[in-house]
Structure 1
């Protein structure tokens, strides 16, 4: 393992993109006004300004010290198990109270919202890592916290709910009886992170002193996650490691963005060749590999701004699977714009393959990864061995293990009992959900990787 100094600045990729992100649109359903979210101005600036480095507030740096820097090591045992031709390095983000990378942005956002006068933060969460991270951050900065968690995940992982409540959060299973968006949902829409987020949006909008807070798809949340890649670059340099491929799993994109985009910015600033940046997504929600680049809503209320994203449609009925935190219907607008210009690549991984990779990693490295992280490890193994989707690493792979799997043991039990099958997309529903989406009018041709 190799440790480095704690980062005191976040690094933005925006100055190095070479293109602008498509502007958001106001949906017709909002009556020309759109949802008003009480977003602190500093977070808005972090999303749009072409400023490469942002100082991390001292209070947030102090909070990071409890778990950062995080370890990076060469996974030699895993290499042997998967027949890797090149080294595989892993960056581990599971060693904090939330058990995942989500705490990096939760602490930053809670700090900024508290400074802006918010009294309560409300959010939606899929597998529960984000909800747990926000509950912890709210406890640290003296805020109330309300979480709507996808009900299927909460039933599988009840102790995530216990942990959130232990941290002082109020927790609701989604769909809940508390909101109009839940009561008006489509039949069968019970595994949707979009719905959980929509419930949080509605609840925050009618609650005095409350603000909606999201942890993955926004550009500012990806910025906060840059501490992952910033540390990894220095750690790999200290190990004299030669890396040409970077891998992370993708729900909306903060984990992948956190590990990959600092490598993009570093190569661009030095005029060096770009590494291959591979987003590993769930085959049950294949927005980057099967979706369209279009304007779509980020939650089920239909009142928020429409964002340009790779999406399989916010109305798509998400299959029930252990992809958990990867089940969001779209990818972050920043990552989607980069995908559209072939600046990042993508591959889809089934839940059986992901959990098999996680099990191999547990036995060979004695670290139990979350199912989401298993998608990253499965992709890294393929890229380091024979290749995947026309891509392969020639010198070395670094993959981020986004969190631990101690609250996901039921998934591993199902794997070992032979009860898991890969949940592919529902083809007819996929076509229906994407049919009416407005494509992004960009001159450049769509991306072709993956």
Structure 2
């Protein structure tokens, strides 16, 4: 009988996170002070982040950073997560490819986001912080941080992108159930929010807007720090537990992936699954393809421009070297709310620039087609975000079928879609459509960035 799931023991939970920046020949360019244009140091970030998180953000020398025992103990609630062979999907596609997925949807909040939420809440609590703020798109990160904040006795305010606040009311309810305050963004509670509402009264929000509001509140609240669920280096670092476990599990399966795929918004789950495998490409020249799957309506890696840009809409953050569509970019109201972000993190951007990874863009209807096929063959209804990775994996498996080649494909199932059924309802009713950007739309937005550097 063939093995379906490859399971690790609690003792196999990684004891250290993997810091890919230490192994990169071309290090990510420094983040800059927007006023002086000088590189920032860790202490420059102390007012905004917990000090240990700021140090992790700037660390480009230590390949391994120890996971505190308290964090590993919390990880035991759901980790290690299963590696699953997608036999049903393989059969439906009639492909010679072997398809595996790392199932991060088994966490208490249904997504991979808890890997970093637990770590960030721990380091804030250890420093004596009492309040934290954050932003969330689809609500996966907000739900994860709400759980983590309560576990460590922290008060949390979450700015949730307004379109998702209304599209996904149950994610909002999850956050509130854990004790978080949830505010639809843009809101009237911050200067950044008021300015945006004044200019665009019907604006449905973006992650860039929500970040601006969360940063502003953190800077104005005593004993408060800002936390975030993607983009920055320390978030990518924490997520590498995914790929580190997957390495051991692929060894149990007697295979090694030819292709590793993650959906891409700011980079958290993509980095988590891919960075541990990328280290063998960097250090040993391992022949492996790494693919980021992003929405066609928010294509920063496939159609964006590499340059310094703000991480938020109001320009509160440092300048980050990134592939970007421009911090003023207003993404379409697609259901993959967690992927509606204008830029990529500095590490992923440098890896893309150096051709160490690839990117593909996926249309919204194609993601739901892929999601339903996956649900019917593997039994799991995936989050719309994760469905981008599924669609990319299916495309690669079909190439294997056409060419008659047997390749091993690994993708990250970063979350389930049980709180996203309104999106599936719209799709099944024929009420969803594709949204693609013209070159003129992208170019106009990018032209506004010329003055930044």
* 1:143 equivalent in structure 2: 154
For structure 1, the 5+ residue unaligned runs are 442-450
Contact 1:352–1:420 under 8 Å retained in 2? yes
Contact 2:98–2:406 under 8 Å retained in 1? no
Q: Deviation of residue 58 (structure 1)?
A: 0.6
Q: Deviation of residue 84 (structure 1)?
A: 2.7
TM-score, L = length of structure 1: 0.93
Aligned match of 1:157 in 149, 168, 171? 168
Q: Mean Cα displacement is larger for which, 63-72 or 294-303?
A: 294-303
Tell me, yes or no, if structure 1 residue 238 matches structure 2 residue 252.
yes
State the alpha-carbon separation in 2 of the partners of residues 233 and 358 from structure 1. Answer: 25
State the alpha-carbon separation in 2 of the partners of residues 339 and 324 from structure 1. Answer: 23
* 2:294 equivalent in structure 1: 281
Contact 1:319–1:425 under 8 Å retained in 2? no
Contact 2:46–2:54 under 8 Å retained in 1? no
Mapping of residues 259-298 of structure 1, within 5 Å = 259-269=273-283, 271-298=284-311
Q: How many residues align?
A: 438
Contact 1:292–1:439 under 8 Å retained in 2? no
State the alpha-carbon separation in 2 of the partners of residues 362 and 289 from structure 1. Answer: 28
Tell me, yes or no, if structure 1 residue 353 matches structure 2 residue 366.
yes
Change (3 A) 1:201 1:321: same
Aligned match of 1:104 in 115, 129, 138? 115
Q: Deviation of residue 32 (structure 1)?
A: 12
State the alpha-carbon separation in 1 of the partners of residues 338 and 48 from structure 2. Answer: 25
Q: Deviation of residue 438 (structure 1)?
A: 4.6
* 1:205 equivalent in structure 2: 219
Q: Which deviations, in whole Å up to 9, do the C-alpha atoms of 1:151-172 show, x marking residues without a partner?
A: 1111111011111011000010
* 1:433 equivalent in structure 2: 445
Q: Name the Cα RMSD after superposition.
A: 2.3
Q: Deviation of residue 387 (structure 1)?
A: 6.9
Contact 1:245–1:396 under 8 Å retained in 2? yes
Change (3 A) 1:148 1:426: farther
Aligned match of 1:215 in 222, 229, 238? 229
* 2:210 equivalent in structure 1: 196
State the alpha-carbon separation in 1 of the partners of residues 46 and 54 from structure 2. Answer: 13
Q: Mean Cα displacement is larger for which, 417-426 or 103-112?
A: 417-426
Change (3 A) 1:394 1:21: farther
Contact 1:244–1:393 under 8 Å retained in 2? no
* 2:106 equivalent in structure 1: 95
Contact 1:189–1:318 under 8 Å retained in 2? no
State the alpha-carbon separation in 2 of the partners of residues 87 and 439 from structure 1. Answer: 48
* 2:28 equivalent in structure 1: 21
* 1:40 equivalent in structure 2: 50
For structure 2, the 5+ residue unaligned runs are none
Tell me, yes or no, if structure 1 residue 256 matches structure 2 residue 266.
no
* 1:172 equivalent in structure 2: 183
Tell me, yes or no, if structure 1 residue 323 matches structure 2 residue 323.
no
Tell me, yes or no, if structure 1 residue 86 matches structure 2 residue 93.
no
- More helix by proportion, 1 or 2? 2
